[in-house]
A and B are shown apart, each in its own frame.
Chain A
Amino acid sequence: MPVYNAPLLAIDAQETRRYAGLMKATNFDESKIEAACQDARLLAAPKGIWQVYDYDCEKQEIAAAPACLLQGDKIGAHLAGCEKVIALAATVGKAIEETVTKRFEEGQYAASVLLDAAATAAVEQVADAMEKAIRPKAAAKGYGMRWRFSPGYGDWPIEQQPELIRLTDATTIGIELSSSMMLIPRKSITAIIGLYKEDKSTPEAATIHKKGCAVCPKTDCPSRNV
């Protein structure tokens, strides 16, 4: 299983603002966001792992041993025409969310929420960096890459999370699953990326390039990025 632990030389302040629900705020103290981003860099332990599998897009089946059948029409449409898939897992570790909790207990509510937002931005960056590292490898073999799709997006049930853990071997980078299908540490990602030689995605799926937000039904989400 290839491993890539992307360095976090900076955390995107704009994304941190978004996850903190500050997209429309005009007068928020930027130094508080900066401080949260810096603390997140200090506390994050970025880790990522992935594996490439053959994929049968007719059956929505990943050729692992044993095979994994993907449930849901959205993921099926998203992976239409893909011959292979990459199963990917990323995390920024436990320490960061322990500090989020500790700060809240100490009454530093805002700092806690901002650190939580920076941690979200951080784990997304780690997964983005993995994609960036994988892309040339895929391109060298003649594959284009779909954007990453996670259990819970659209109608893909998060009950398939155990399969993602298995496909990615995520436990080796310290990701576990709770009985209610939650990733622990919370600031972790599992996802599938489709590899295609010929773009056969539906026009609907192909035009959705805003990642998860566009397919998410929660239109009143303060972090919505559409």
Chain B
Amino acid sequence: MIHIFDGAMGTMLQAGGLKPGGCPELMNVENPEVVKNIHRAYIEAGSTIIETNTFGASTLKLEHYGLADRTYELNAAAVKIAKEAAAGRAKVAGSMGPTGRFVVPLGDLEFEAAYQCFAEQAKALAEAGADYLIIETCIDIQEMRAALLAAKDTAPNVPVICQLSYSEDGRTVTGTDPQSAAIILAAMGADIIGVNCSLGPEQLVPIVRTLAENCEVPISVQPNAGMPYLENGETVFPMGPEDFGRWGTKLLEAGATYLGGCCGTTPAHIAALAQTVKNANEPERPKRPKRLWLASRSKSVCIDKDIPTRLIGERINPTGRKKLAAEIREGSFLSVKKEALNQVKAGAQLLDVNMGVGGIDQPAAMKHAVTEISQLTDAPLAIDTSDAKALEAGLRAYPGRALINSVSAEKERIAEFLPLAKKYGAAILCLPITDDGVPKTAQDRLETIRGIIKAAKENGLDDGDFLLDALVMTISADANACHEVLRTLALYREELGYPSTMGLSNISFGLPNRPLINSTFFTMCLAAGLDAPIMNPYDDSMQQALKASAALLGHDPNGLAFSKDEANLSVPKKAAVAKETILATLPAIKQAVIEGEKDDVAPLVEKAIQEGHSANEITEQALTAAMTEIGEDFGAGRMFLPQVLLSAETMRAAFNKLKELIPASANAENGTVVIATVKGDVHDLGKNITGALLANSGFKLIDLGKDVDSTDIVKAAIENNADIVGLCALMTTTMVQIDKVIADLKAAGCNAKVMVGGAAVTQEYADSAGADAYAPDGVKAVELAKGLVK
């Protein structure tokens, strides 16, 4: 059946007497006739569902008007008006708009506060008799999740419509794509999923199509009357009723059966739309087999048998890792975050999160970890815990569709975990363990899994919600362990068809050369039907086995990707382009410095000494010569600061080696430089760079740091008998300190030359302040310093 919503409300309220800055929802009690007439106009235009005038009637919004205590009254009144206007001719949808704040961690509104706010509004709307609840114009999936949970908990029998707003790039401004939105919201039990506002019908067609392709529930769409523009200070929506109405056909074809309008639309637009779709057929939504999809806020990942293997990273797990456990216990999540980023970089598509540290508040730790990781990476998460409270904390906090790791056939797990999976729309990893232990044979494991799935379906879960664990035991304890796993994988695939997973490394427990056993076992499992291993993504032998298996099993057709992998080339590319000429040692040192090959230089210096070169020769002919060339290249724009710094690091490594081998060489110095960022200025990177370059060019460096008082600079210059004082200031506000330091140095009778630099400093300024030199950059500073001490 095709349903027609109404169009814009705000502009019509203004026409009906709403003052600029007034509360639109207050009209529900102060001018109910105005609101009622708008509803009537839309019903007469053909609307079959009208929306209550409650878009901003949540407590958090009404607060702005000092009406927070009238939430119930304003919502109930709105439903009453709409029902009276409808008089049975149309259904009434209770409108719930966003709070206007972002939910933690994107913003400062706590999830529970958002939930309470929506629950309060949903209760009022439902008790007054709304036929639907419509959560609309949301741009934050976490706010939508809070609202949907609140609506389902408060009014379990009222169908809920969930509409996000997308930008021109096809995502909400907080990054959610329509595919992920459909996956997350459908799993959580949204009855209708859709989109409204922000864009016109043309831009919404592809979004509607994506939504329709990724869930089975009906799709709704309420576009603006085209993309707005400003003209003479007014917002203009370019589409007239006929233009707008024509798009009804395309929106229907894309899969929407609930159609209406948002900003800029009028009863005439709705009438045109209703006319267009009046005799149209409902769109066909081809029934697709349900696949297992997981989603983060901004990315969806599928696990299935006909697509490449998905890797679930296992490293966010403190079990057996004392340092990680200690950090989590102390409330630090830096290593957890590091593991998240590094695993994704190493190829993990999903991340398992386990906070199993004894004696901590597990729910709080899980919530914290899930929140932090979801801000950092878009890989969907598996929440790995045996604690129902920690599980719920993690699921509630996660702005996506998570995997629960795991649900066994143990009675307590079934009773506690399955309802949570349903409520939060999570998929479950099914583990064949019963209250009596681990079933030994593949057949017994299959039967156990059947039991879990039966219970899950009784709790409302369905195909597409299951990932089956084959359960790996240790071969050193059970000679058949490998056989049973392979047989289990085969049975899962033949009998059930759901994708499979396992933690692999247990197989080799107690054996030597575990990597070999693990990677061999891994390839066997991949051939037997393993779809998503839970593993250490840093394990090179496993990664190699995975790549080779992908080529063998057809996931990497004809081994194309495998062929391009550098690691598999018989002559690695790097070796192929190795230096053709073998340089003599001193030119090689010079070359290493210029190219910034820090690791190569120390052995070269050692070799040069062995060959009988003096420290002086090495410094002059290799190191200084390199620095001169670098200076020239930098000045000419052939070399750039980070490259110069790599060279400086290489110089440093060379000098350190020289000092180590010939301690006397440490005395070779050009002069003493006292360097500082002036009082009031906290920018010291430029000063540090200059200091590092000077120190590695034979100057004795005394770095006084940043925000240094003139008195301290003068004192250090005199005490150290400085040849040069280097002053840095970045800002126009702190630059004036340079004048003061120069004056103070003169007054104290210090003869050191003064060199100045920093973003705001210019040659002119340096001249007027009486400085001896102005260095626009660190490289130039070295050259100038050499001139100053001559």
Contact = CB atoms under 8 A, between A and B. Distances in A.
B743 interface: no
B63 to A, nearest CB: 14
A142 interface: yes
Contacts of B334: 42
Interface in B133-171: 139, 165, 167
Interface in B344-377: 345, 374-377
Contacts of A25: 639-640, 642-643
B640 A158 contact: no
Interface string A123-139: 00000000011011001
Given A20-B641, A133-B174, A182-B683, A3 B101 contact: yes
B9 interface: no
A181 interface: yes
Contacts of A32: 642
Interface stretch (B104-112, B473-481, B485-493, B579-587): B104-112
Interface stretch (A65-73, A84-92, A111-119, A204-212): A111-119
A184 B637 CA distance: 33
Interface string A1-21: 011111111000000000011
Q: How big is the A interface, by class?
A: 35 or more
Contact of B377 (A9, A28, A104, A218): A9
Contacts of A21: 640-642
A109 B688 CA distance: 9
A222 B101 contact: no
A98 interface: no
Contacts, number: 148
A80 B675 CA distance: 45
B232 interface: yes
A42 B680 contact: no
Contacts of A220: 776
B139 A133 contact: yes
A132 B167 contact: yes
A107 interface: yes
| B interface, size bucket | 35 or more
Interface in B640-690: 640-643, 645-646, 648-649, 652, 680-685, 688-689
A5 B685 contact: no
A3 B733 contact: no
Nearest to B235: A142
B230 interface: yes
A112 B688 CA distance: 10
A197 B230 CA distance: 7
B689 to A, nearest CB: 7
B682 A186 contact: yes
A4 B642 contact: no
B175 A186 contact: no
Given A22-B642, A178-B680, A38 B106 contact: no
A7 B375 CA distance: 5
Nearest to A110: B645
A208 B544 CA distance: 52
A104 to B, nearest CB: 5
Contacts of A56: none
A113 B641 contact: yes
B237 to A, nearest CB: 11
B226 to A, nearest CB: 13
B733 A158 contact: yes
A24 interface: yes
Contact of B341 (A41, A100, A116): A41
A25 B230 CA distance: 42
A2 B109 CA distance: 10
Contacts of A24: 637, 640
Nearest to B345: A38
B642 A113 contact: yes
A42 B341 contact: yes
Contacts of B298: 9
5 contacts: A42-B337, A110-B596, A112-B685, A136-B173, A159-B733
Interface of A: 2-9, 20-22, 24-25, 28, 32, 38, 41-42, 100-101, 104, 107-110, 112-114, 116, 132-133, 135-136, 139-140, 142, 144, 158-159, 178-182, 184, 186, 196-199, 218, 220, 222
Given A20-B641, A135-B173, 20 more contacts: A7-B105, A8-B375, A9-B175, A21-B640, A21-B641, A22-B641, A25-B642, A28-B643, A107-B692, A109-B648, A109-B692, A110-B645, A136-B198, A139-B228, A139-B235, A142-B234, A181-B733, A182-B731, A186-B682, A198-B230
